[in-house]
Structure 1
Amino acid sequence: MTRTLLRNVRPWGGAPADVLVDETGILEVAPAAEAAAPATDAPAGASDLEVVDGAGGILLPSFSDVHVHLDSTRMGLPFRPNTAGPSRMDRILNDRANWRSAEQPVAARATYTLERMIAQGATRVRSHAQVDADSGLEKFEGVLAAREAHRDRAHVEIVAFPQVGIHLEDGVPDLLDEALRNGADLVGGIDPCEIDRDPKRHLDTVFELAERHGVGIDVHLHEAGSLGLFSLDLIVERTRALGLAGRVSVSHAFALASTVPGVERALEDVAELDIALTTIAPKGSLTHPLDLPIGRLRDLGIRVGLGMDGQRDYWSPWGNGDMLERAFLLAYTQGYSNDDDIEDALAVATWGGANVIDGSLRRLGADGRPGVAVGDPAELVVVRGETPTSAVMDRFPERVVVHAGRVVAEGGELR
């Protein structure tokens, strides 16, 4: 079994250490050897060993992008001005009008974008793949091809995602069913009141498909205020009734950022049923708050992860595949300025997302920074910086990326 020894790294910016890993996880964390020690001076039994000089870099759990749309990306292609209108449906239909005229097919665009994400330190990814009457399974199959191309470099989950609703067009439930039979890991939903305008039917279909295939659920919930809390309550109701605690995620969950009555009760329901949340670090306003209460989620033990969302697609020009930059944006939109809080944002971008994907991992909390101790998964990234906070502020591109105990990218390039 191949092992990797990361020499002279600083777990979460702490004391220099040598860290031995293999595909089963982190095997040993020991004080760093003296600088004069030969690189071949490895722990006993570490045959087939690759030794990597961490050069005093900060060792973190690898980044986890748990809300991305690889099917719509235009990263690496000529820039196109955003032609979408202001509403969510305008953006949905703008993508529908333009995706076939992209310079590359979905599979090529998704594969390239996933490459750049991995090279910048993400080894856990949850991508939504649009399934609808217009594109059929073509977008899903493109994301499936990207996952296969990088199967030895990252763990990728795919959500069969009905972005244009489930019951506005014929045949969408059958397409979702086919995607789940062909490799999708979760079934998605979107704004059951605003899109389908039939929340009961929409969510009944989502939960029935999840039960039929034994998969998880990830629902986009942009609906704000009382409407969003109503939809969230329907999700809670079904999660409880069907015994799906720990199997459901809600993306965006803007209603939980509002000040309307019922938010605290909704948070308690989410915590009770272990419903995970994902955010893209949006910046709202006093009248339309969008930023989740990260500190309160942590206090309640709610799993929360971070994602890039679209990347230079037909919705917006934002996104570059760098989850360290997205951690910076999370800290910024949360109004963080002290080091502990900024490290919280970094923790959400790394271990928080890992915990969204794997609920068995321990939760973010006040008991230190997880993910770099013996027994943790060997999903790691070495970044440059004096401290974790300075790493978030400076975002130097030099990184070493480890997946399943093996270096898969270094210096911004895949191996």
Structure 2
Amino acid sequence: MHASATRVPRLRRVTDLLISDVRPWGADPVDLLVADGVLAEVVPTGTAPRGAPAARRIAGHGLLALPGLVNAHAHVDKSWWGRPWESYEGAPGVQGRIAHERARRDDLGIPSVATTRAVLDQLVRHGTTAVRSHVDVDLGLGLRGIEVVREAAAAYDGLRVELVAFPQDGVLRRPGVMELLDRAAAAGVEHVGGLDPASIDRDPVGQLDGIFDVAARHGCGIDLHLHDGGELGAFQVELVVERTERFGLQGRVTLAHGFAVAQVDQVRRRDLLQAMGALGITMTTVAPLGSPQLPVAELDAAGVGLGLGTDGIRDLWSPYGTGDVLGIAWQLARASGLARDADLRRVVELATSDGGRFVGGPTHDLVAGSRADVVLLEAENPMDALVRTPPRRLVVAGGRVLHDDLS
């Protein structure tokens, strides 16, 4: 499907952009014709009418073309990227990192439009054309972080950015946070989030009932951080499954991290994944080193969509991160012991074409009618691109050139 050239009726007006001589997914060379932010035609190189009008032409020089990378789990509001080095301090664990972040973020002026733009610059440079970012919502910030990220993202014409109102400091244990989530949803945020309902709020039923009620009333999605492992985490997955069906939120709920799914035994995992797949519940991972990885083949078999994300990038939680989703894909493949071509290509699909489901795009591929999100790399095929993670030479989002290193 990825390799074939496709056509729609020949355009009668000037196209916005023509990218010639590129190899989608490593297949034969084609020309990509873009109009109104969409791939209007994908034709074998040299078959477009001579002199076909285009506002801008870019020679692809036979480079590998992939759909734009999708960062399905980011925190673009938290970073100190571009600022002086910050030493890693504070107590370990989720509670310790929350406390350290609350003590230091005002000193760093986080969130700010400047630091958020610095992070977005890194994402774009690495080929990201769509982002789902969690943004802290708490009693100290209110909804200011959402306003900051919206303003920063507005500078990138073509980049798709969806936000999750994220209660990093807990929900029920901080009276007033649920009301902030409700306000964020009423103001149009695409998703509301939650955090470890059992270990943070000590009331999984109460937190989940409240969050699902907010999402159902305002018609937004849910993206829930779930770090709790083993049976405690599995129990919370079951609670999420029950509420997804009860509130009619099929296809609109995501579990981030979900370490428990990788930790329980195979039979327990199969049952959880089948229940999730039946309701369209998706998962995202940042492929954390030192932890069992989510089993891609088992998620695929159960119909559970999986997205990849960078998590935080040089923030008060960790000094690591470059903003490269393809690097996260490499990490997932390597930590999972994947080596066969089909498995490596599958991981690239998770980072690109399959990722569209997480940021409002039902079709995210290099085919006519798809949004014009294109990344060019010097690689033989997707597998080669994954294991070498070469620099991105061209990044086009919604038909707009956001990064050009071809000259």
Q: Normalized against structure 1, the TM-score is what?
A: 0.89
Name the amino acid aligned to 2:168: Q
Q: Does 1:112 align with 2:125?
A: no
For 1:136, which of 137, 142, 145 is the aligned residue? 142
Alignment partner, residue 229 of structure 2: 224
Q: Does 1:404 align with 2:398?
A: yes
Change (3 A) 1:160 1:412: farther
The DSSP-based 3-state class of the residue aligned with 2:135 is strand
For 2:75, which of 69, 77, 81 is the aligned residue? 69
How far has the Cα of 1:258 moved from its partner? 1.4
Uncovered stretches (5+) of structure 1, i.e. residues with no partner: 362-369
Change (3 A) 1:317 1:119: same
Q: Does 1:163 align with 2:157?
A: no
Alpha-carbon distance between aligned partners in 2 of 1:103 and 1:168, rounded to the nearest angstrom = 25
Alpha-carbon distance between aligned partners in 2 of 1:139 and 1:358, rounded to the nearest angstrom = 22
Alignment partner, residue 86 of structure 1: 92
Change (3 A) 1:57 1:412: closer
Q: Is the 8 A contact 2:15 2:33 kept in 1?
A: no
Q: Does 1:384 align with 2:378?
A: yes
Name the amino acid aligned to 2:219: G
Once the two structures are overlaid, the 10-residue window that deviates more, 310-319 or 114-123, is: 114-123
Alpha-carbon distance between aligned partners in 1 of 2:37 and 2:316, rounded to the nearest angstrom = 40
Alpha-carbon distance between aligned partners in 2 of 1:398 and 1:303, rounded to the nearest angstrom = 26
Q: Is the 8 A contact 1:22 1:404 kept in 2?
A: no
Q: Does 1:41 align with 2:50?
A: yes
The C-alpha deviation readout for 1:245-272, integer Å capped at 9, x for no partner, is 0111111111111133521111001110
Alignment partner, residue 200 of structure 2: 195
Alignment partner, residue 252 of structure 2: 247
The DSSP-based 3-state class of the residue aligned with 2:40 is strand
For 1:318, which of 298, 317, 320 is the aligned residue? 320
The DSSP-based 3-state class of the residue aligned with 2:56 is strand
Q: Does 1:301 align with 2:303?
A: yes
Q: Does 1:272 align with 2:278?
A: yes
Show the 5 A alignment for 1:145-160. 145-150=151-156, 152-160=157-165
Q: Is the 8 A contact 1:398 1:412 kept in 2?
A: no
The DSSP-based 3-state class of the residue aligned with 1:18 is strand
Alpha-carbon distance between aligned partners in 1 of 2:247 and 2:95, rounded to the nearest angstrom = 31
Q: Normalized against structure 2, the TM-score is what?
A: 0.91
Q: Is the 8 A contact 1:120 1:399 kept in 2?
A: no
Alpha-carbon distance between aligned partners in 2 of 1:236 and 1:24, rounded to the nearest angstrom = 37
The C-alpha deviation readout for 1:308-330, integer Å capped at 9, x for no partner, is 00000000111111222222112
Alpha-carbon distance between aligned partners in 2 of 1:103 and 1:176, rounded to the nearest angstrom = 23
Change (3 A) 1:204 1:235: same
Alpha-carbon distance between aligned partners in 1 of 2:51 and 2:231, rounded to the nearest angstrom = 59
Alignment partner, residue 103 of structure 2: 97
How far has the Cα of 1:206 moved from its partner? 0.4
Alignment partner, residue 19 of structure 1: 32
Alpha-carbon distance between aligned partners in 2 of 1:315 and 1:225, rounded to the nearest angstrom = 23
Alpha-carbon distance between aligned partners in 2 of 1:98 and 1:340, rounded to the nearest angstrom = 45
Name the amino acid aligned to 2:223: D
**Residues paired across the two proteins, number:** 393
Once the two structures are overlaid, the 10-residue window that deviates more, 333-342 or 87-96, is: 333-342
Name the amino acid aligned to 1:371: D
Alpha-carbon distance between aligned partners in 2 of 1:226 and 1:128, rounded to the nearest angstrom = 26
How far has the Cα of 1:301 moved from its partner? 2.4
Q: Is the 8 A contact 2:132 2:358 kept in 1?
A: no
The C-alpha deviation readout for 1:17-55, integer Å capped at 9, x for no partner, is 112122352222222229xx9xx9344xxx443111111
Uncovered stretches (5+) of structure 2, i.e. residues with no partner: 1-13
Alignment partner, residue 372 of structure 1: 366
Name the amino acid aligned to 1:344: R
How far has the Cα of 1:104 moved from its partner? 6.5
The DSSP-based 3-state class of the residue aligned with 1:49 is coil
Q: Does 1:60 align with 2:69?
A: no
How far has the Cα of 1:359 moved from its partner? 6.9
The C-alpha deviation readout for 1:80-135, integer Å capped at 9, x for no partner, is 12113221111111111111111665221112211221122111100000111222
How far has the Cα of 1:353 moved from its partner? 1.7
Q: Is the 8 A contact 2:69 2:351 kept in 1?
A: yes
Name the amino acid aligned to 1:330: L
Q: Is the 8 A contact 2:133 2:162 kept in 1?
A: yes
RMSD over aligned CA atoms reads 2.1
How far has the Cα of 1:299 moved from its partner? 2.4
Change (3 A) 1:359 1:404: closer
Q: Is the 8 A contact 1:118 1:153 kept in 2?
A: no
Name the amino acid aligned to 2:86: R
Q: Does 1:262 align with 2:265?
A: no
Alignment partner, residue 364 of structure 1: none
Alpha-carbon distance between aligned partners in 1 of 2:51 and 2:98, rounded to the nearest angstrom = 54
Q: Is the 8 A contact 2:127 2:392 kept in 1?
A: no
Name the amino acid aligned to 2:344: I
Question: Percent sequence identity over matched residues?
Answer: 39
Q: Is the 8 A contact 2:36 2:399 kept in 1?
A: yes
Change (3 A) 1:84 1:343: farther
Change (3 A) 1:18 1:48: closer
The DSSP-based 3-state class of the residue aligned with 2:61 is coil
Alpha-carbon distance between aligned partners in 2 of 1:398 and 1:262, rounded to the nearest angstrom = 41
Alignment partner, residue 8 of structure 2: none
Show the 5 A alignment for 1:277-296. 277-285=283-291, 289=292, 291-296=293-298
The DSSP-based 3-state class of the residue aligned with 2:148 is helix
The DSSP-based 3-state class of the residue aligned with 2:146 is helix
